[in-house]
Structure 1
């Protein structure tokens, strides 16, 4: 298949149009690094070397990409893939009320889990690796968020968007949190959301230190790491009646990868963004003035609706 023509732009110029504020390390790196900016009508080829280390501009990362390793751009989301853990490092979305409207041409039944052909074979996860594992194939960018097109829905089922999740967590509390984010998209003009796995330490029972321990699916050489926790970070914009200048509200949640009691308050999982950044090794919304970000849960009701619980319970039954 012939490749479409692409234009290479210096990173400094690309920063000015979208991927702003990304820290790249030592002085002079900016001058040496270039991003591949695809033509507006070009879709990236799904080949092993096509988009692993480059990222076209995408609304989901308008305020900065959390990291730059193995970035993959999809129609409805952007992600970074961790080849060692064989999990996404982070998945970024921008969803709006309009984008959540279901297109009559979209049919989720037509979508199925597939290995990501843009990932080199040694690090590529296949759906069969989850069989009889006791874990669900958990979406980081939910298929429900990809209502605009069949392509977007299909891409949400690529295994680079999937992490092992405990079944009652995936189909229960986590699904309700996803519904809460969609509620924000309807309440505000839109919501920027970043989700990802965490591998958090616990107190070492044999000593005074801490240790990180987690299961893997498959063999040690090709294992898929099972996260201990998952995070979800959201950012919304709002305008007051006395000013045209937007205010930005944000919140971060960290949830254990386990069954969570239905009535557990969502606020109990709140965690400051800078703490999540340290645990995850990522930077969120780096282009923003962090001091100007206001707590979302001081300005809106951060709780899971009872009707959402009933809907999820019915689906899981």
Structure 2
């Protein structure tokens, strides 16, 4: 017969053993690696220049999550190591607190054609994500296709101007995002030209990226520095091609936050009438494509402010937009193949000030008038009669 003291001692041991087992099970569960899926995006762009360099993919998710990356195409000129292009075709790691970056290094492209690489990224046991990298040939170098794309103004030779086109990947195709004429003396683009179509404005991202960054194709010293902070005073980082015009991919939206697309724009204009005008422009999108040029005009340099880093920058005295599309909207024709009576155009000349109400008809001008004011030639392949039009009601403005 077991004594009472021995009985209680055995019971206590059993209870302690049960608690120990439960604690061990609980701790093992708490210490297990996270299995959730993470996020990833190119930091700058999936399209790079012909010279050798590196591009970064930003990784995010629960700290401790394991990730695995593999180069599946282009391994002969891409690598996860800057020193070993022969063997560094795979890489893995664990997400840490703070910034997590996966660098992809690439050799110079000495050929005459652009080339394509592809890599996969997987978090834990989740499905793979695919990333494409396009490296341009030296002959391309991100220059706008003047005399080919309908939205581009005629080129003006000026040593202070730099012309650039940004591209992005959409449905495994490289598409132009927008082109700019950047004036290094103004630290701003004098015009930004871009197409508007459902392929660009159909929303496939949860929200705007807000990834303010320097344009990687323009010298940083020539750009306003509003990466961390906006312009001083009551001025916003005003987009020329709007973020809402590019919601098809994370990459294309992020490119609208380049400093080369910004000007110091009064909050009272940017957050009111200018935003209304941008929305109105988008409602005129069509199957044939709407072609838009948005620009900043500096009548003088009398008004200035400081960028986020304290550097002096001039403030535009005016903004403008010029629009072109087919009247029908679904002809299936290129602009150059259309007769003048098949096309419509309009311009907007906006003084840099606050406006009350909606879009005032007095800002509506003909494209020809905007050409006279700015000195640029817009839609150079279009007949003069088309550029003399000024019919606000045809564009939904009363």
Under a length normalisation based on structure 1, what TM-score does the superposition of the two structures give? 0.69
Contact 2:269/2:355, CA 8 A, preserved across alignment: yes
Task: Give, in whole Å, the separation in 1 of the partners of 2:110 and 2:292.
Answer: 31
1:117 Cα deviation from its structure 2 partner:
2.6
Q: In structure 1, list runs of 5 or more residues that go unmatched.
A: 8-37, 202-211, 305-317
Divergent runs of 4+, >6 A = none
Per-residue deviation, residues 132-159 of structure 1 (Å, max 9, x unmatched)? 3320000000011111111100100000
Task: Give, in whole Å, the separation in 1 of the partners of 2:316 and 2:208.
Answer: 28
- The answer on 1:149 being equivalent to 2:243 is no
Task: Give, in whole Å, the separation in 1 of the partners of 2:317 and 2:111.
Answer: 40
Q: Partner residue of 1:268?
A: 362
- The answer on 1:70 being equivalent to 2:162 is yes
Q: Partner residue of 1:308?
A: none
Q: Which structure exhibits the higher relative contact order, with contacts defined as CA atoms closer than 8 Å and separated by 6 or more residues?
A: 1
Which deviates further from its counterpart, 188-197 or 156-165? 188-197
1:271 Cα deviation from its structure 2 partner:
2.2
Aligned-residue CA RMSD in angstroms? 3.3
3-state SS of the aligned residue for 1:291?
helix
- The answer on 1:199 being equivalent to 2:298 is yes
3-state SS of the aligned residue for 1:92?
strand
Task: For 1:172-183, list aligned pairs within 5 A.
Answer: 172-183=272-283
Task: Give, in whole Å, the separation in 2 of the partners of 1:182 and 1:240.
Answer: 13
- The answer on 1:132 being equivalent to 2:265 is no
- The answer on 1:79 being equivalent to 2:170 is no
Task: Give, in whole Å, the separation in 1 of the partners of 2:267 and 2:324.
Answer: 28
Task: Give, in whole Å, the separation in 2 of the partners of 1:286 and 1:271.
Answer: 18
- The answer on 1:280 being equivalent to 2:374 is yes
Task: For 1:252-263, list aligned pairs within 5 A.
Answer: 252-263=347-358
Structure with max Cα Rg: 2
Larger strand fraction of residues? 2
Task: Give, in whole Å, the separation in 2 of the partners of 1:195 and 1:227.
Answer: 13
Task: For 1:152-301, list aligned pairs within 5 A.
Answer: 152-186=252-286, 189-200=288-299, 213-217=302-306, 222-239=311-328, 247-263=342-358, 265=360, 267-293=361-387, 295=389, 297=391, 300-301=394-395
Under a length normalisation based on structure 2, what TM-score does the superposition of the two structures give? 0.56
Aligned residues: 252
Task: Give, in whole Å, the separation in 2 of the partners of 1:264 and 1:64.
Answer: 25
Contact 1:184/1:190, CA 8 A, preserved across alignment: no
Q: Partner residue of 1:123?
A: 222
Q: In structure 2, list runs of 5 or more residues that go unmatched.
A: 1-52, 54-106, 117-132, 168-176
Q: Partner residue of 2:50?
A: none
